[in-house]
Amino acid sequence: MKRNAQELMTFVFDTIGQIAALRNHETLFIELAKFARDIVFADRCSIWIYDHKNQKVWTKVAQGVASIVLDEGVGIVGCAIDKNSPLIINDVQSDKRFNPEVDIKTGYITKTMMVIPMQNQYNQTIGAIQVINKKENEFFNESDLKYLTLASTYVAESIQTILLMEEIEETQREFIYIMGATGEKRSKETGYHVKRVAEYSYLLAKLYGLNIEECDALRLVSPMHDIGKIGIPDAILNKPARLDPSEWEVMKQHAQIGYDILKNSDLRLLQASAIVAYEHHEKWDGSGYPIGLKGEEIHIYGRITALADVFDALGSERIYKPAWSDEKIFALFEEERGKHFEPKLVDLFFANKEKFFEIRERLKDV
């Protein structure tokens, strides 16, 4: 099986164009594996990642099997990575480096294999592409090696970009967790408040129909809703009584303070954190603060966090008030439907009360 030059170029450019439009990392890895598999008419492809720190190689994508983890230097893939050298093996079952365990478990028979190590821009090995069983019982050859090498260059660059993005996202997550915990500790009465708000927000986002990436993002960033309170004096923040009007005006500044802390970041999660910090006290009817946004002018993250925050705050004991009963909270929600809160969100809450109660019980203050 082979393509002529024109067919090959058409296949490569069409496939790369489709891959370039993808944003979900898991989907991107799957499509990269399909690209490497199909360019050489193989039956299966695995993309392996080399973990230098832990001296392991593991499959990010393994078509037809579950994830595999090996010590470095072990097996055919480990050997190719260790020697930084491509391998073509057309009688795999006779190769002493081959571990038949996966074949035995799955009933699949590995006959032919080609492995190409992948390197980053600094010539460091970051993993390998492994293709298995060329179709129509053919053998892999030097032309296949050339084509897979072409694919591996693109795959390696894509993987390096993805890994860097994942590292940046993990850094954002750690920062958000640390900052959220800092704000929580300053407000001595909050306990598990931000954790519950995160889970309530995630649940509401799913019920509302947001995609999974937005749901995950909101769960991560909603703990930052009150980060601006780090700029509020302790005497006001922890006052064991209701605030007077002048103190309340100071307290309201926390939305602007939180936004000012986060607004200049170009990082996705911190941008989302800025939205939540700024808009979670806006109200559906336009009577909220800091700027009086109304209806869908309020970002959906702000609308969701507003309901989640109020539900938890009212149901929790504070130094200035006892916890409200569920009946009292429900009455307020019914009254504030279309005023404070988006009607759809209130309806979703009432239709799924038991799920919110489960979260509250699981993360109750200790």
Which residues are known catalytic residues?
229
Q: If you compute the radius of gyration of the chain from its CA atoms, what whole number of angstroms results? A: 27
Pairing of strands 87-89, 69-71: unpaired
Helix (H, G, I), strand (E, B) or coil at 48: strand
Q: Order of strands across the sheet with 69-71?
A: 69-71, 56-62, 42-51, 125-134, 113-119, 87-89
10 Å CB burial of residue 52 (0-12, 13-18, 19+) is: exposed
2-11 long-range contacts, CB within 8 A, separation 24+: 2/41, 2/143, 8/147, 11/38, 11/39
Phi, psi torsion values for 352, nearest 5 degrees:
-135, 35
Q: Is the dihedral of CA 341, 344, 348, 350 positive or negative?
A: positive
Phi, psi torsion values for 110, nearest 5 degrees:
-85, 120
The answer to whether the CB of 275 falls within 8 A of the CB of 262 is no
Phi, psi torsion values for 155, nearest 5 degrees:
-60, -45
